[in-house]
Amino acid sequence: MQRFILRKKNHIALISAILIAFAFISKWTIGNMDLFIWPLMISSILGVLPILIQAYQALRVKVVSIDVLVTIAVVGAFLIKNFEESAIVTFLFLFGAYLEQRTLNKTRSAIKELTEMAPESALKQMENGEFKEVEVEEVDVGDILLVKTGAKVPVDGTVLQGEGHINEASITGESLPVSKKKDSKVYAGTILENGTIQIVADRVGEDTTFGRIIELVEEAQDSKSEAERFIDRFSKYYTPAVLVLAIIVWLFSQDIELAITILVLGCPGALVIGVPVSNVAGIGNGARHGVLLKGSEVISDFSRVDTIVFDKTGTLTIGNPKVADIETYTDDTDEVMSYLASVETESDHPLAKAIVEHIGETEAYTVEKTEVIKGGGIAAQVDGHRIAIGNVALMEKENVHLDEKARDDISRFEKRGNSIVLTAVDGMLKVLIGIRDKVRPGVKDDLQRLKKLGVKNLIVLSGDNQGTVDLVAKELGLTEAHGNMLPEDKADYIKRLKEKGRIVAFVGDGVNDSPSLALSQIGIAMGSGTDVAIETSDVVLMNSDFSRLPHALGLTKATASNMKQNIIIAVGVVLVLLASVFFSEWMNMSIGMLVHEGSILAVILNGMRLLGYKLRR
């Protein structure tokens, strides 16, 4: 019976409204008091039932909720035969709850849209070579799938054949279609606007980028900020305090109607709901614009950030370096280049890929005894020779002599903004390579926007040489630049910043950034970075779109401000209502409940403004 009544709460509110309207029409037209009082009595009894059930459920877990206050107030008004007040208060409370639910559902619409975008079926290639439609849960890693025009991509995968344009707005927030061809990466939940492609499944189910987005956003909604936890604790004691105040007023004044009115006016509904609705709306806006905010606590901390530290490669730069300069110190260049390509093929470092791409096809040698030197480079045995590839520190460790010419060349390469890669064979320097990575388009403007949002310190930390890092910092107008830094050096630097009282955000995309992402108050991962970086971070910029960073910071500041506004509205309304009871003659239960429900709607609508937030350029 309890469940039935609660399910029909909205219908009860409608019946109450009809009964109240009938009562007042009867009074104003034919003046029949029986037809005025009885509908109000029925409306009061009917309306209080769902509120009474919710109050009972709250008391069972030892919580004095708003429903308890309203139930006592309505029953008290009924007992003193103030049926007009009891009927109107129950209707307003039920109608307010209905409006709250409607508007709250709108704030959650961005999250609901995400879950509705999740693909449900896929065209899977069967053993006979034909494609058959199956549930997306039946797709395994390695399966070949067909995606036609207008269809959703069912999994994360790689294009095997075909071409087309895909709308990746569900992942990146970017509405412009992205061209896809052989070897291009595609993501679950995106839509193929034109063309037909075959893909091989790389990630399926919850492991897809889209699946992780939904999971992270849902987790973020469930988390609570310090402000929310404080309000929960506050309301836990505030609500019983209102009940005690009402009892004290009744004992001293002997005015039961005044005591009941205080119960209604003191309800902290707007205070309880104001902060969560801001958080949900802020997280929803971020999800729609390619920014994952992992919880309410993240919003609070990120909004106060005054220092942002960046990794260089793949964050401030594109992360696709190319060989720009070469200097050789040997006559057998081809053989050395073959050794170099053979060793670098073993590595997945961006600089190694750039070297292999530049050298192109060459003789391949068997590589033995490969040794990765942390923060230095790589050494290996090739064709009976000891090959060392890396920076100046590695050359010194390998006792490779760098004469004056070599050092001048290194200095010249660094001044051009090159990352330096030296190659030595059997302790002799053979090749110097300069590799440059382009700064991301628009990064300089985005950094200026961060400054306007109140970030005082913009710092770059990199394992690259100091000269290259200085050039990037000068070009982008950064506050500080530090090169030749190992992962532990970056982590130590962030510790020192925190000890100085700075509120630090770190932006990176690699496995070696994970300690710094975890140490900083806010870790921000580029979405196309490694899984470890994304899992360690507090904020994820999908598709590695750097321009999302100013939007993310602006959004968290707007959300934090919105929370404060809602708290001020909620507390202000309660104070005004309680003051009006003692210092005015016009305040009563019905007006108080109307204003109370109005304040709840006000904080919800104020929070909903965040759904349309866009950072002004």
Q: What is the pLDDT of residue 204?
A: 84
Sheet containing strand 419-425, edge to edge, reads 322-328, 428-436, 419-425, 385-390, 377-382, 367-373
What letter does residue 520 receive in the DSSP assignment? S
Give me the phi and psi of 44, to 5 degrees please: -65, -45
Mean pLDDT in the chain?
A: 80
Predicted confidence band of residue 308 (pLDDT cuts 50, 70, 90): very high
As annotated, the active-site residues are: 311
Whether 543 has a pLDDT exceeding 50, the answer reads yes
Predicted confidence band of residue 199 (pLDDT cuts 50, 70, 90): very high
Which of these ranges, 23-32, 300-309, 475-484, 559-568, has the smallest mean pLDDT?
23-32
Of 471, 392, 413, 462, nearest to 438 by C-alpha is 471
Predicted confidence band of residue 408 (pLDDT cuts 50, 70, 90): very high
Q: Which is higher by pLDDT, 94 or 162?
A: 162
Whether 22 has a pLDDT exceeding 50, the answer reads yes
Grouping H, G, I as helix, E, B as strand and the rest as coil, residue 37 is: helix
Whether 405 has a pLDDT exceeding 70, the answer reads yes
Four-CA torsion 257, 263, 265, 269, nearest 10 degrees: -160
Question: What domains appear along the chain, each with residue ranges and CATH number?
Answer: 2-108+220-278+559-612 (no CATH), 120-154+156-203 (2.70.150.10), 294-317+439-544 (3.40.50.1000), 322-436 (3.40.1110.10)
Of 470, 465, 459, 312, nearest to 376 by C-alpha is 465
Mean local confidence (pLDDT), 4-8: 77
Whether 219 has a pLDDT exceeding 60, the answer reads no
Predicted confidence band of residue 531 (pLDDT cuts 50, 70, 90): low
Q: What is the pLDDT of residue 458?
A: 93
Supply 406's token pair. 């070599």
Whole-angstrom distance, CA of residue 601 vs CA of residue 612: 18
CB-based contact 514:533 (threshold 8 Å): yes
Q: What is the pLDDT of residue 448?
A: 92
Whether 480 has a pLDDT exceeding 80, the answer reads yes
For the segment 77-97, what is each residue's pLDDT rounded down to a tens digit? 777 777 777 787 788 777 767
Mean local confidence (pLDDT), 503-507: 90
Q: Which of 20-34, 272-286, 429-443, 536-550 has the highest mean pLDDT?
A: 429-443
For the segment 333-383, what is each residue's pLDDT rounded down to a tens digit? 888 899 888 888 877 777 888 888 888 888 888 888 888 887 788 888 888
Q: What is the pLDDT of residue 62?
A: 72
Whole-angstrom distance, CA of residue 617 vs CA of residue 315: 21
Predicted confidence band of residue 113 (pLDDT cuts 50, 70, 90): low
Whether 220 has a pLDDT exceeding 70, the answer reads no
Predicted confidence band of residue 527 (pLDDT cuts 50, 70, 90): low
Whether 173 has a pLDDT exceeding 50, the answer reads no
Whole-angstrom distance, CA of residue 260 vs CA of residue 152: 57
Q: Which is higher by pLDDT, 33 or 528?
A: 33
Whether 58 has a pLDDT exceeding 80, the answer reads no
Grouping H, G, I as helix, E, B as strand and the rest as coil, residue 104 is: helix
Whether 279 has a pLDDT exceeding 90, the answer reads no
Q: Which is higher by pLDDT, 168 or 224?
A: 168
Whole-angstrom distance, CA of residue 189 vs CA of residue 167: 9
Mean local confidence (pLDDT), 594-598: 77
Mean local confidence (pLDDT), 1-12: 78
**Cβ neighbours of residue 607 closer than 8 Å, sequence gap 6 or more:** 107, 274, 277, 278, 280, 281, 562, 566
Whether 104 has a pLDDT exceeding 70, the answer reads no
Whole-angstrom distance, CA of residue 487 vs CA of residue 385: 30
Whether 617 has a pLDDT exceeding 50, the answer reads yes
Whether 524 has a pLDDT exceeding 60, the answer reads yes
Whether 553 has a pLDDT exceeding 90, the answer reads yes
Whether 148 has a pLDDT exceeding 70, the answer reads yes
Mean local confidence (pLDDT), 21-42: 83
Predicted confidence band of residue 592 (pLDDT cuts 50, 70, 90): confident
Whether 326 has a pLDDT exceeding 60, the answer reads yes
